[in-house]
Amino acid sequence: MSITRKTHWMFAAAITGTLTLAACSPPQSVETEAAKAEADAPAEEAPPLEAKPISALSGLKIVGFGPTTAKASAGGDSRVDVWASADRSLEGYQASLWLNGQPLENAAVAGVTVTGTVPAALLTSPGTYPLEIRIGEDGELLTSEKVDFVVE
């Protein structure tokens, strides 16, 4: 087969493929005036969240957490990310993890799980320290039962 014929054949195949893809593609929609007006309308505000009663968390327990141990470090930037699962949902509450009476950094809540980062300052001395979930801006509203977190 000559180069010219091969080039024509490849061109024809490319055109055929392009037309086939165009035929299989969904048609482009044309926006109507109503659709444009709807898109430009201001979004409705979400209803305010109901305040959840703190009494619903009475007797809060940690049913799992990890890691359960961390290596002691003489300083530096060693940090440990920790998670704890509660025995009920913490969504809608301002929950955070506390280790040895100090709040952990980067607190986040997702369902029954609370996460936080143990700063290097709390990892300098080996020992067993209480880990707990606290509710409230400063952890003042409610405290879960404590579990032991070990720094080796």
Query: For tokens 């700063």, what's the residue?
Result: 119
101 part of a folded domain: yes
46 part of a folded domain: no
Whole-angstrom distance, CA of residue 142 vs CA of residue 136: 7
- Which residues span the domain enclosing 36? 3-40
- Residue 45 DSSP one-character state: P
112 part of a folded domain: yes
Q: Are residues 32 and 67 both part of a single domain? A: no
47 part of a folded domain: no
pLDDT tens-place values along the chain, 152 residues long = 555 555 665 666 666 666 565 555 565 555 566 666 666 666 566 445 456 788 889 899 999 999 999 999 876 678 999 999 999 999 999 999 999 999 999 999 999 999 999 999 899 999 999 999 999 988 999 999 999 999 99
Phi, psi at 3, each rounded to 5°: -65, -40
107 part of a folded domain: yes
29 part of a folded domain: yes
Q: Are residues 78 and 136 both part of a single domain? A: yes
- Residue 104 DSSP one-character state: P
